[in-house]
Amino acid sequence: MSTAEIRRRFTAHFAENTEIGEHTVVPSASLLLDDPNLLFVNAGMVPFKPYFLGQATPPYQRATSVQKCIRTPDIEEVGKTTRHGTFFEMCGNFSFGDYFKEGAITLAWELVTKSVADGGFGFDESVLYPSVLNGDEEAVALWKKISGLPDDRIVRLPPSENYWSMGVPGPGGPCSEILIDRGPEFGADRDWDAGDRYLEFWNLVFMQDNVVAARSKYDVDIDGPLAQTGIDTGLGLERVAYLMQGKSNMYETDVVFPVIEKAMELTGKKYGASYEDDVRFRVVADHVRSSLMLISDGVTPGNEGRGYVLRRLMRRAIRNMRLLGYEDPAMPELLPVSRDKMGETYTELLSGWDRIKRVADSEEEAFRKTLAAGTQIFDLAATEVKSSGSTTFTGAKAFQLHDTYGFPIDLTLEMAAEAGLEVDEAGFRGLMTEQRERAKADARAKKGQHADLSVYRGILDANGPTDWQAYTTLETESKPLALLKEGKAVDVLGPEEIGEIVLDRTPFYAESGGQSADAGIIEFDGGRLEVVDVQRPVKGLVVHQVRVVDGEFHGNGLVHAQVDKEWRIGARQAHSGTHVVHAALREVLGPTALQSGSFNRPGYLRLDYGWTKGLTPEQMHEIEEVSNNALRADLPVSWDYMTLSEAKEWGAIALFGETYDDSKVRVVEIGGPWSRELCGGTHVDHSAQIGTIVVTSEASVGSGNRRIEAYTGVEGFNYLARERDVVSELNLLLKSKSDDVVGRVSDLMERLKAAEKEIARARTAQLLASGGSIAASAVDVNGVQVVAQRVPGVGGGDARTLAQDVRSRLGDAPAAVVLFGDADDKVAVVAAVNPAGIAQGVKAGDLIKELAPVVGGRGGGKPDFAQGGGTEVGRIDEAVAKVKSLVAGA
């Protein structure tokens, strides 16, 4: 049975169920969700977390989905086992206060055991073993009742296996897994920890406990039952696929194995011939698919966060193709294979292919350069190791190559072996462990900051959603519902105190969709509040952060909420301007130039987009021109509400990583199909109301990501006025006309450069003229001619030139020159040793390592030349005196 058919049968089983109830089929969310605890969606229930945590009211009682997921903790284990994969799809069914244990078990058992002819998976009951949390006798009784299995077929497992929570305060509960016995060749009889023999492929979570503290997913403190129970299940699509397709692991299924087949064709190697090569083939297949899905969802390679994960996956895939013997670019050959298989389900892979290909090709090209540069760095390091008489490449050096230059450890091991060296793997692994622990500590710290939103949820439950009128008015008469300070209810806010107020209705726009929150005031009988910020901590509730400007606020009586009119005008101009610049960008660069993030406030906009190279001045000018032509055309701006699927069919653009309401979305249109985007922000009525768009900069904000900044409205005109004033001042200084300023400045720059070169030549000539007298000061130290002098007013570059000149004047006899410059209250120290001096045991690098600390600095270099610096000018004479003893010791 194909993976696509397994996916279809799963959702159909729940969507068409009439006994327990039809489930709403929810499309897969993006791999990127705004969650402080997660880089990526790593489980099927993640998009439903707000419902389980009580942060939002679910729009349905029952749901089913097949969710894209990424898990990254075990990347290095990929390919070595049947269980570790980076990208996977999780099939799930969910109940929000509807059916519970009996319903979940009934639905699961029916689908798993129902015949293929009747629409099920057709697993043989004789090899299935349900597991329950040890002590959950209710689940045991239900499994016996529903499945008819005897007691010894129900496996009792400890909390470490069969209890689940989110790892933070919230819902939790016991689990029940369905295991399949794959036979004695995979492990011992009834050895539930064997892993590969009794394989778990479906986990049913019974959310029934109110978890108040969580040290892990199963080590929790429980404060009674939840007010509303829930069901969260997860069936691994890849696991079911390889079980039903008669394969031994997930890499051999119908959607993954074609990449391995292509890799075999390119490399000439055979899958199944050796364990080492099989692991490499599996890594390639997994990482190519994972990279494809991440790029499709808007991730671009980078050095931190999500971008670093993608970069690591791509580079591991490329590296493993090289280990299999393929030296040419691999991604252009492999990605299309994965695209064709995954695109059968995720059609955005086909429509977004040009952008995906551009990102992937750019990253592989960059990595090939990294490999070339890293190889040079390795060669230098290996030479140093050998020259020191050692045969071990340090763990610190291997870690530096890996962490700083992206040089894979397996490549370091291979090249070290070829050079006759060993690598301190233990040291390298230790440093990697330290890095992981730091990352885990950071993640734990972030989890510790998981906001307690219960107070806001309580306000929402007691009063209902805020009557939000930001689209229709700038002022309302409102009733205070709650007054908070530092997350706790208070009775009063005194002068200059900052707190939070919740109103029954509000005209204030809460920060979202890249648009900053409104500014304004809230007036009450006897005083006034300044609105500092406006947020939505839980869906449906608008919360105003305020500062008491006048009076003392007790949170009672009616208040008058009023948005700053000028602020809102500027905000509307900036947000509509962002849409215009995005449309202009796509017109100039093509439809693959998609926005990946934005921020706008009155008079200013910032737009991030996926692109691999900087814009030319001509392109920037064209984007600005297209934008302002759209303003001059006074294009109509309108918005409408529709379903997400209708919006996509209409051509509306959705922002990468954003989540949208399952029932209705808001589409903002400027000039018809020219600009159609999903957006909840405030906008002008006609494009001419934006005033002007002045593009001020375009720069990189990470690999594959660029940023355009611009001013709008009055701020745009003010920016142009400042530029005009600068040009006017230059005209006065240069006594020129505006159209000649650039030529005059360019001419002055050329003359300045010529003067600087002439000065540098004169300074060098002066320095070299002193070289003879300095060389004449050489003294003999154990047969080595030694020069050690302070050269006042000389910086590092000049000291280097002078030292090399003096060394050449000393001839072929053993010689060492050490000079100390003291320009700009800094010390520059350089050492130059000729070949005969090196043969005598005197090395420039060793001298600098000893001398630089004397003057409060550090340095190093090669045996023939080295340099360093310091800050303690007053200790130069001490360092000069030390040179002779160092040479003598050498």
Q: Residues comprising the binding site for Zn(2+)?
A: 575, 579, 679, 683
Element (H, E) at 621: helix 617-632
- Structure token pair of residue 767: 């320095």
- Cα–Cα dist 176/217, whole Å: 15
CA distance 708 to 586: 13
Indicate the Cα dihedral angle 423, 426, 429, 431, nearest 10°: -90
Q: Supply 850's token pair.
A: 């000893």
Q: How far apart are the C-alpha atoms of 834 and 842, rounded to whole Å?
A: 9
Q: How far apart are CA 209 and CA 229, in angstroms?
A: 8
- CA 705 to CA 701: how far, in whole Å? 6
Strand 675-678 relative to strand 155-157: parallel, antiparallel, unpaired?
Answer: unpaired
What is the C-alpha to C-alpha distance for residues 52 and 167, in angstroms, rounded to an integer? 13
Residue 376: in which H helix or E strand, if any? helix 353-387
Q: Which amino acid is at 550?
A: D
Q: Which residues are annotated as a binding site?
A: 575, 579, 679, 683
3-class DSSP assignment, residue 135? coil
Query: For 247-352, where are the alpha helices, taking DSSP H only?
Result: 257-267, 275-296, 305-323, 331-342, 348-351
Of 336, 358, 360, 361, residue with least CA distance to 349? 336
Residues linked to residue 213 through DSSP beta bridges, in sequence order: 221
Count of positions (residues) in the chain: 890
Q: Which letter, b or e, does each residue of 440-465 get, where b requires 16 or more Cβ atoms within 10 Å of its Cβ?
A: eeeeeeeeeebeebebbbebbeeeee
Q: How far apart are CA 31 and CA 47, in angstroms?
A: 10
Q: Residues 339, 284: contact at Cβ < 8 Å?
A: no
Return d(Cα 807, Cα 784) in angstroms, integer: 12
What is the spatial distance between Cα 129 and Cα 172, in angstroms, rounded to a whole number?
23
Q: H-helix or E-strand containing 213?
A: strand 198-214
Q: Decide: 865 and 844 in contact? Cβ < 8 Å.
A: yes
Please give the C-alpha separations between residue 526 and each of 476, 556, 777, in angstroms, as whole numbers. Answer: 18, 12, 87
* Measured distance CA(479)–CA(429) in Å, rounded: 61
- Under a CB-based contact definition with an 8 Å cutoff, are residues 121 and 145 in contact? no
Helix axes 275-296 and 353-387, enclosed angle (nearest 10):
130
Element (H, E) at 873: none
Are the beta carbons of 39 and 309 closer than 8 angstroms? yes
What is the C-alpha separation between 149 and 443, in angstroms, rounded? Answer: 43
Return the SS3 of 98.
Answer: coil
Distance CA 228, CA 209 (A): 10
Alpha-carbon span 123 to 111, nearest angstrom: 9
